[in-house]
Amino acid sequence: MQAFLSQMPQQIVNGLTLGAVYALIALGYSMVYGILGLLNFAHGDVFMVGAFIGYGVLNVFVPDQTPLIPAVLVIVCMMAVTMLGTGIIGMAIERVAYRPLRNAPRIAPLISALGVSFFLQNAILLTQSARYRDYRTQFLISPRLGLDIGSAHLSLTRALVIVVAVLLMIALTYFVQRTRLGLAMRAVSIDREAAAMMGVDVDRVILTTFFIGSALAGAAGVLFGLVFGQIYHFMGFTAGLKGFTAAVMGGIGNIPGAMLGGLLLGLIETFAIGFISPTYKDVIAFVVLVLVLLIRPSGLLGVRAPQKV
Amino acid sequence: MNTMPLLELEAVSKRFGGLQAVKELSFSVAAGEIVSLIGPNGAGKTTVLNLITGLYRPDQGHIRFEGRDLSGLAVNAITVRGIARTFQSLRLFLNMSVIENVMAAAYPRTQAQFWQIVLRRPFFRQEEARIRQLAEQKLAFFGERLAGYRYDQPAYSLSYANRRRLELARAMATEPKLLLLDEPAAGMNPHETQEITHLIGDLRNRGQYTILIIEHDMQVIEGVSDRVIVLDYGEKIAEGSYREVVRNERVIEAYLGRKHGNTKSAAARA
Amino acid sequence: MSLEKIGQDEWVAQVEARRQKQNPVVAEITARWGRLPRVGKIILIVLIPVLLPIFVQNDYILRVGGLVWLYAVLALGLNVVVGLTGLLDLGYVAFFGVGGYGYALLSSAQFNIHLPTWVSLPLVTLFTAGVGFMLGLPTLRLQGDYLAIVTLGFGQIFVQLMTSMNRVGLPGLSAPINLTGGPNGIVALDPLHFLSLTMHSVTSYYYLLLLTLALVLVAIINLNRSRIGRAWRAIREDALAAEAMGIPTNRLRLLAFAVGAGIAGFAGCLFAAWQQSVFPGNFDVPLLITLYAMVVLGGAGSLWGMIAGAFVITVVPEVLRPGIQLLGIELQQIVFFGGILALLAIALRPRWRLFAVLGAVILSGIIVHLIAAALFPEQITGGTNLITAWLTIPVNTTTATSVGNFLFFIVVGLFVLLTQMPARWRDPVLVVALYLLAFVWQTRLSQEPSTTVLLLTGVALIMLMNYRPQGLLGQRRVEIA
C-alpha cells in the first residue's frame, strides 16, 4: 500500500492512458445505443479487429527492426487504414445484421449481435491462430523517450495515446455539435420518426453513426496495441464489456458521458490493480458496472426519462 | 346502514417535475355505485387511476380502500385487496390465448405451490379446473363473442372491440370489488358503444362490482353514471349527477372555452 | 345485425389453408405428424432414444447422444428464464459452472470431501438455485438490455474467479489455499453412485441424461400449463399489466431465475461426474452462445424445438470433423457442400438459375485449375478426391494456408456485398464467391473444425434472425415496440 501511494502519480498516468482507450470504445457504444436503442455486442470485437489491422500495417512498414518510413508516417498510416477498415466493417455489420431487424422484437438484434461478435472472434482465430501477437512498438517509438512529471514517467507512447484519443474526441464533439450531419444524428437519437418526417435520411445517419463509432473502436485497438503490446482474438469481448461499463457509467447515449466514464473506469481499474490485486482487475470492472446500474442507472451525466403509462 | 365509502381519496396531489398533474383531489365512491370521471384531455384522469392502483405514489394526501390506507403497497398487492383496472391503450398479453389471458389474471386468487404443480398433485389439478371455469364464466359476460373456438385464439388475432372486451374480462378475473375502467368505449362504433353501456350497467347489477369509469363519450356517461366528477388541470371542478354537471358553467368552460373571453383563463379559477 | 354470424368465422377457419400455402414443406410435415396416432408418436419419440444404445454399440455415437441430452436439459432450463419469462440472462452458463464446480469440490481430493451422490446432487442443485435467486435480486429493476449485460458480467466474473482462485490468500493463513484449481481445474472426480450402481460407462450416462431430460421436460410442461407458467408468460408479454392483474412479478422473476439455475446446477453435477473433471474453460462464452443458438434455432417457446435445436447443434459439428469417410468421400465434404447446395436450391428460383450458377462455378474452377497448372506446374496438388482435384490447391501447405486466410476475408466481403447488391449483379458475384468459398473450405475451414463450427454458429444466428426469427418450431410472435 505504501509503495502504491508513492507510485500514485504513475498510476494516474497509466489510468488515464487506459481510460483514453476505454473512452474511445465507450463512445461507439453510446452513439449506437443513443440512435438505435441497441447494444452492439459486436463493438468490442471491432476493437479487436482494429488492433489486428493495425498490427498488419505495422508489420508491413516495420518488417524487422527498423521502420521503412519515418515512425510518424507509420503511425498515421496505421491509424488511417485501421479506422477506415473498421469503419467499413461497422457499416457492413449494420447493413447485414441490424438494418433488416429494425422492426423485429428486441431480442432479435441482440442475438444477431451475438452472432456477429462470435463470427468476428472466430474469423480472427481461424486466420490468425490463437497465438498472442506482439506490437513491437519498441522499434517504432523508443521506450526511453518520454517526459518526467514529478515521480511519474510519461512515456512518449502513452502520451501519444492520450493525445490522439483526446484529438479524436474533440473532433467527434465538433462533428456532432457543429455540422449538419451531427445535428441529424442528434435528431435521430431523440426521435427517429420525427427526424424522418423532417427530411433526415435516417438510414444514412445510422450508417454514419456506425462508421464513426467503429472507426473510433478501431483507433482504440491500435492505441491499445501500441501501449500494451499484446493482442489476441478474444480480447474484444472483455474490452467491449468494459467499454459498455464506461458508457453506462457516464450515461448511455451521452457523448461527454462516455468520455468521462471511460477515463474514470481506466483510473478505477488501475487503482484496483494496485490496491487490491492484478488478478481480479476484470472482476472490478463488472462489480463497478453492477453497482452503477443499481445505484444510478442513468449514469453520471445521464438524464432519466420518465415513462408515460 | 353502511356509510363507509368503498374508495376514498383525500387531498391527493401528484406532481411530475414542473407539471402539477393532480391537485388536492378529494372524492369518494360508495359500494355499488358507478362513478364517472370526466374532463378534457390532460386533466389528470389516468393519473388518478395510476395513483389508486399504486403505479404512482401520491406526493400528498391519502387513498383509502375499505377504510384501509393504500400507501406504500405494491401494485399487485393493491389488486389483491380488490381493485382491478383496464388500460387506456390496451395492454393485453398478445401472444397468449384469449382464455389464458383471463386465467393468468386469476393468479392472486389461487394457491397451487411449485411442487404441487410439478408433481401434478390433485389440489393443483382441481384448482386448474376451477380457474378454467372462472375464466369461461367471465368471458361468458360477453356472450358468444369470446367463447367457444375463440378460447384458444391468440389475443393478437382479435378485433379491436374484442380486445377491449378481453381486457375487461381479464380485469374481472382478479375478482375485484372495485373496477377502474379507463376509456372502455374508446374507438368503438355507436352499436358497440351501446353494447358497452349496457354491459357496464350489467357489471354493477349482475356482477356486483363498484365501478369508477373514465370516459369521453357522453352517451356512455349519461347511460351509466350515478355520479359524475369533473377534473380540469388536475383539480375537481364539479361533482353531481350527469344532468347537474352537464349544465355547470365551469364544466362547459373547461371543455369549450369561455363564451366572450379569449381563452380558458386560469385566473377565473383563482 | 345477424346473430348467426357470431361464432362462425370463415377467415379463422381457413387458417390451416393459409398456413399450408406459406410453407408447404413444414406444413406437410406438421400435418403428417398430427395425423399419427398417439401410439405412433410415443414410439418415435420415446422408443428410438431409449433403444438406441442397444442397437448401436458405438461409444462415440453414444457420447454424442449423451451430449445432446445434456445440452437439451440446459436449453430447457435457459428457456425457463429467457423464453418463458422473457429475462435475457447471458450469464446462464455460470450456473452450469456452479453446479459443476460444486460437485467437484464435494467429490474429489481437492478438500478431501467425498460426499455420497444422494447428498451432493440435491445439495449442489439447491445451492445453485439459491445462487440464481441471489443473482435475480439486484437485477429485478433492470430493463432488458441492462439485465443482459449484467448477467453477462456475472458469467465472466465466475469464469475469472474459477481461473484465479487457485491462490487465495486469506488473513491468518500462512500459505494461500487452492480453492478451484485455477486454469487446470479439478480432476479425478468421484463417479456417481446410485444405490449399488456406479456410473462409469458412456451408456450409463446416456441413460442418466436421457432420464434427466425426460423429468425436466415433464416438470416444465407441467409448470407451463399452470398458474406459474401463465404468470411467467404474462411477465414476458407485459410486466406492468401482469403486475396490475395481481401477479407478484418480482417473486416470480426470482422463481424463474432459481428454477433455471437449479436445472443448470443439476446438469453441471452430471457433466462434472461424466467428464470426471471441471475446467474454467468449460463454462465460458462459446458454450453460452452455443446454448443460445440452440434455443433460438429451436424456437423460443417451443419445448420440442429446444431439443431439436440441441440435436442439430450438437450433431452437425461432429459430422463436420475431418477423417470420417463415407463411400470414399469425406463426410464433412458431403455435409458442407450438400448444405450449400440445399441453401442454393432454396434461395435460387427459378430452377434454371441454380443450374446456371452451379455450372458457372464448376466451369470457373476448371478454368482456374488449367491456368494455374500451366503457369505453376509443380505447385498444384493432384488432389485426393474429386473436389480437391477440381480446386487449385498449392502443394506447399503454408502457402495454401496463407492464401486461404486471405481469401477468407474476400469471401466474407463478397457475401456481405451480395446482400446489398441489385439483382442483376448478384449471380456473377455469387459464382465467384462460391468458388472462393470452396477453396477456403478445403484449405482452412475443414482443417479447423471446432473454429469452423463456431463461425457457422455465428452466421447461423445472424441468418436466423433475419429470415426466421421464430426458429424451426417456434411460433411467430407479435410484439409492440
If you measure CA to CA, which chain A residue comes closest to C478? A105
If you measure CA to CA, which chain C residue comes closest to A290? C150
**Distance from C422 to chain A by nearest Cα, in Å?**
14
Please give the pLDDT value at position B105: 94
Of B16, B46, B50, the CB nearest to A306: B16
Residue with cell string 458521458: A257
Domain residue limits at A246: 2-295
Chain C contacts of B121, Cβ < 8 Å? Answer: none
CB–CB contacts below 8 A, A to C? 137
Query: Quick check: B18 contacting A, CB < 8 Å?
Result: no
Q: Is the distance from CB of C458 to CB of A115 less than 8 angstroms?
A: yes
**Distance from A2 to chain B by nearest Cα, in Å?**
49
Please give the pLDDT value at position C372: 80
**Distance from B181 to chain A by nearest Cα, in Å?**
15
Q: Which three cell numbers stand for residue A50?
A: 482494429
Chain C contacts of B127, Cβ < 8 Å? Answer: 227
C469, A287: Cβ pair inside 8 Å?
no
Q: Give the residue extent of every domain in chain C.
A: 56-169+176-319, 326-443
Please give the pLDDT value at position B211: 94
Q: C249-299: per-residue pLDDT in tens?
A: 999 999 999 999 999 999 999 999 998 888 888 898 889 888 988 888 887
Q: A40-68: per-residue pLDDT in tens?
A: 889 999 999 999 999 999 888 888 777 78
* A247 occurs within a structural domain: yes
A309, B46: Cβ pair inside 8 Å?
yes
When pLDDT is cut at 50, 70 and 90, the band that residue B37 belongs to is very high
A 267-306 near B (Cβ less than 8 A): 306
What is the CATH number for A41? Answer: 1.10.3470
- ipTM field: 0.89
C157, A117: Cβ pair inside 8 Å?
no
A127, C149: Cβ pair inside 8 Å?
no
Q: Does the structural domain C56-169+176-319 have CATH classification 3.30.70?
A: no
Please give the pLDDT value at position B52: 93
Q: Give the residue extent of every domain in chain B.
A: 33-42+56-81+177-263
Please give the pLDDT value at position C325: 65
DSSP letters along chain A, please? -HHHHHTHHHHHHHHHHHHHHHHHHHHHHHHHHHHH----TTHHHHHHHHHHHHHHHHHHH-SSSS-SS-HHHHHHHHHHHHHHHHHHHHHHHIIIIIGGGTTS-THHHHHHHHHHHHHHHHHHHHHH-SPPEE--GGGTS-TT-EEEETTEEEEHHHHHHHHHHHHHHHHHHHHHHHSHHHHHHHHHHH-HHHHHHTT--HHHHHHHHHHHHHHHHHHHHHHHHHHH-EE-TTHHHHHHHHHHHHHHHH-TT-HHHHHHHHHHHHHHHHHHHHHT-GGGHHHHHHHHHHHHHHH-TT-SS--PPP---
* A94 occurs within a structural domain: yes
If you measure CA to CA, which chain A residue comes closest to C154? A286
Q: Is the distance from CB of B195 to CB of B141 less than 8 angstroms?
A: no
**Distance from B18 to chain C by nearest Cα, in Å?**
25
Q: A145-195: per-residue pLDDT in tens?
A: 777 777 777 888 888 888 898 899 889 989 888 998 889 988 888 888 899
The mean per-residue pLDDT over the stretch B112-128 comes to 91
**Distance from B44 to chain A by nearest Cα, in Å?**
12
pLDDT in tens, chain C (481 residues): 444 444 456 666 566 566 555 555 666 666 777 777 777 776 777 777 888 777 777 788 888 899 999 999 999 999 999 888 888 888 999 999 999 999 988 888 777 788 888 888 999 999 999 999 998 888 888 777 778 888 888 888 888 888 888 777 667 777 777 777 778 888 877 777 777 777 778 888 898 999 999 999 999 999 999 999 999 999 999 999 999 999 999 999 999 999 999 999 999 999 999 988 888 888 988 898 889 888 888 877 778 888 888 988 888 888 777 766 666 567 777 778 888 888 888 777 777 888 888 888 888 888 888 888 788 776 666 666 777 777 777 777 788 888 888 889 999 999 888 888 887 888 888 888 888 898 888 888 888 888 888 888 888 888 888 887 777 777 777 766 4
Q: Has residue A284 got a pLDDT over 70?
A: yes
Query: Quick check: A105 contacting B, CB < 8 Å?
Result: no
If you measure CA to CA, which chain A residue comes closest to B91? A309
If you measure CA to CA, which chain A residue comes closest to B56? A309
Alpha-carbon gap, residue B107 to B122, rounded angstroms: 18
Please give the pLDDT value at position C27: 64
B55, A306: Cβ pair inside 8 Å?
no
Query: Quick check: C249 contacting B, CB < 8 Å?
Result: yes
Angle, in degrees to the nearest 10, between helices A8-36 and A202-228:
160
Chain C contacts of A299, Cβ < 8 Å? Answer: none
Please give the pLDDT value at position A22: 93
Chain C contacts of A297, Cβ < 8 Å? Answer: 141-142, 146
**Distance from C7 to chain B by nearest Cα, in Å?**
6
In chain A, % of residues over pLDDT 90: 28
A283, C161: Cβ pair inside 8 Å?
yes
B143, C6: Cβ pair inside 8 Å?
yes
The mean per-residue pLDDT over the stretch A199-206 comes to 91
B 66-105 near C (Cβ less than 8 A): 74-76, 79-80, 84-85, 87, 91-96, 100, 103-105
* A58 occurs within a structural domain: yes
Chain B contacts of A306, Cβ < 8 Å? Answer: 16-17
**Distance from C228 to chain B by nearest Cα, in Å?**
8
B 172-211 near C (Cβ less than 8 A): 173-174, 191
A104, C454: Cβ pair inside 8 Å?
no
**Distance from B116 to chain A by nearest Cα, in Å?**
33
B 97-156 near C (Cβ less than 8 A): 100, 103-110, 112, 114, 117-120, 124, 127-128, 131, 143-145, 147-149, 153-154, 156
Q: Could you give the number of structural domains in chain A?
A: 1
Query: Quick check: B159 contacting C, CB < 8 Å?
Result: no
Q: Does the structural domain B33-42+56-81+177-263 have CATH classification 3.40.50.300?
A: yes
* A309 occurs within a structural domain: no
For the purposes of burial, counting CB atoms within 10 Å of the CB of C410, is it exposed (0-12), middle (13-18) or buried (19 or more)? Answer: middle
